[in-house]
């Protein structure tokens, strides 16, 4: 893991500002947020190919391409064997978020990955809900769920995810998503499942345009009625799409380090976040699968600040984008926006 996850020395300057700033995160995966310590503990309990030594996980989490990332990701998913694993993972993720001053997070959860491995759907939902309530009471972190379809598992996984989302619909569930590889997994085939989720009152937030071209973003908008786009990295290659995203103020969930780690973008200097910002698009900054990519949300803000030449006011404005793009209730949005404004005012006046 990189030093960004657990700095050896206190951050200074803009990094210190980012570390103390109240934040929301909209694109971060449940299992992908497992810290090296949690992964190692699970690996020790369920011996296999995943190293049970946190020090060895950095090499294990070095990916050759997106397909390799999915392979490694699924090997960690396989460590979640029962509801107690689910509960410990969920609370641990919230604890790591609290340490970064994340006040609100929409955590992408893939129920099918657990139910297909034998965890009953009701037990799974109860485990994440128990952890959510405990985290809010003890840590002050508000968690909400996006139940997503693992695209690589096909339409059977879509049916199961839609069923769990619409029939069980836990209190914390706000949205319905689609993750996994994009190449060879066209978005339109998932339309019936998104239609059911939307009819049940859930928001649509599929991944698209990460490792495929702009057409997958169009497909997500037209067929899946996307309200936000997960990644959308290739959107800048289609001026008409950029205009559409800007006109309708459709947020992009941007994950810079993730895009480099999975080879969706070859280098940070080539990341399209600058083009997105220059076009006036509503961009949010996110960590995706932070420990797997040797990052965290604070680090992603620092990366974005460098790529966009932001000062403290610019970073605070970026943080407020995430609040605006979230599915928080209006009162919650006002509170967190006011908290960010007060933090900036206090820092600049001091």
Residue 72, strand partner residues: none
User: In angstroms, rounded to a whole number, what is the distance separating the alpha carbons of residues 250 and 279?
Assistant: 13
DSSP string, 250-312: --EEE-HHHHHHTTSSS-GGG-THHHHHHTT--EEE--BSTGGGT--HHHHHHHHHHHHT--H
pLDDT of residue 348: 84
Is 84 one of the annotated active-site residues of the chain? no
The answer to whether residue 10 is domain-embedded is no
Residue 204 lies in a domain: yes
Under DSSP, is residue 178 helix (H, G, I), strand (E, B) or coil?
Answer: strand
Question: Which ranges of the chain have pLDDT less than 50?
Answer: 1-9
CATH of the domain at 274: 3.20.20.140
Q: Does residue 63 sit in helix, strand or coil?
A: coil
Residues in Cβ contact with 203 at an 8 Å cutoff, skipping those fewer than 6 apart: 174, 175, 176, 227, 228, 327
The range of the structural domain enclosing residue 126 comes to: 19-349
What tokens appear for 54 in the block? Answer: 């946190």
Residue 306 falls inside a structural domain: yes
Task: Please tell me which residue in 106, 160, 210, 253 is annotated as part of the active site.
Answer: 210
pLDDT digits (tens, 9 = 90+) for 13-52: 999 999 999 999 999 999 999 888 888 888 888 898 888 8
Q: Write down the pLDDT at residue 24.
A: 98
Q: Is 263 exposed, middle or buried (0-12, 13-18, 19+ CB in 10 A)?
A: middle
Residue 248 in domain: yes
Q: Which two tokens stand for residue 112?
A: 């099918």
Q: Compute the distance between CA of residue 49 and CA of residue 51 in angstroms, rounded to an integer.
A: 6
Task: Give the CA dihedral 162, 282, 324, 233, nearest 10 degrees.
Answer: 40
222 Cβ contact partners less than 8 Å away, ≥ 6 residues apart: none
* Nearest to 152, CA basis, from 242, 94, 77, 228: 77
Sheet holding 142-150, edge to edge: 23-29, 102-109, 142-150, 173-179, 203-204
Could you give the 3-state DSSP secondary structure of residue 344?
helix
The 10s digit of each residue's pLDDT in 306-340 is: 999 999 999 999 999 999 999 999 999 999 999 99
Give the 3-state secondary structure of residue 91: helix
Q: Each residue of 102-136: b (16+ CB within 10 Å) or e?
A: bbbbbbbbbbbbbbeeebebeebbbbbbebbeebe
Count of beta carbons in the 10 Å neighbourhood of residue 254: 30
Of the CA atoms within 13 Å of residue 323, those in its CB half-sphere come to 23
Q: Tell me, yes or no, whether 190 lies in a domain.
A: yes
Domain-located, residue 58: yes
Residue 6 lies in a domain: no
Prediction pTM value:
0.92
CA–CA dist 191, 194 (Å, integer): 5
Residue pair 316/344 in contact (Cβ under 8 Å)? The answer is: yes
* Residue 136 CA: distances (Å) to CA of 16, 19, 124, 133, 334: 25, 20, 19, 5, 18
pLDDT of residue 65: 81
Say if residues 26 and 254 touch (Cβ distance below 8 Å). Answer: no
Q: How many domains does the chain have?
A: 1
């Amino acid at each position: 893991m990189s030093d960004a996850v657990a700095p050896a020395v206190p951050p200074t300057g803009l990094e210190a500002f980012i570390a103390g700033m109240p934040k929301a995160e909209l694109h971060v995966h449940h299992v992908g947020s497992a810290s090296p310590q949690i992964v190692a503990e699970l690996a020790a309990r369920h011996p296999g190919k995943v190293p049970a030594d946190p020090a060895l996980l950095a090499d294990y989490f070095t990916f050759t391409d997106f397909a390799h990332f999915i392979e490694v990701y699924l090997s960690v998913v396989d460590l979640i064997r029962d509801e107690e694993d689910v509960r410990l993972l969920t609370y641990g993720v919230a604890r790591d978020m609290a340490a970064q001053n994340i006040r609100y997070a929409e955590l992408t959860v893939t129920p099918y990955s657990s139910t297909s491995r034998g965890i009953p759907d009701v037990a799974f939902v109860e485990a994440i809900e128990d952890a959510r309530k405990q985290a809010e009471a003890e840590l002050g972190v508000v968690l909400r769920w996006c139940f997503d379809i693992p695209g690589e598992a096909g339409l059977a996984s879509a049916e199961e995810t839609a069923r769990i989302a619409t029939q069980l619909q836990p209190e914390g569930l706000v949205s319905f998503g689609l993750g996994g590889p994009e190449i060879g997994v066209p978005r339109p085939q998932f339309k019936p499942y998104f239609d059911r989720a939307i009819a049940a009152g859930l928001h649509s937030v599929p991944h698209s345009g990460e490792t495929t071209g702009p057409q997958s973003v169009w497909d997500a908008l037209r067929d899946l009625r996307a309200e936000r786009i997960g990644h959308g990295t290739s959107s800048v290659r289609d001026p008409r799409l950029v205009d559409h995203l800007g006109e309708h103020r459709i947020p992009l969930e941007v994950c810079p380090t993730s895009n480099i780690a999975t080879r969706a973008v070859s280098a940070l200097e080539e990341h399209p976040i600058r083009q997105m910002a220059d076009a006036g698009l509503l961009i949010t900054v996110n960590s995706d699968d932070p420990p797997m990519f040797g990052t965290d949300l604070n680090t992603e803000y620092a990366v974005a600040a460098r790529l966009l030449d932001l000062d403290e006011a610019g970073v605070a404005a970026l943080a407020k984008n995430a609040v605006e793009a979230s599915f928080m209730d209006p009162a919650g949005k006002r509170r967190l926006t006011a908290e960010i404004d007060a933090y900036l005012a206090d820092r600049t006046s001091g």
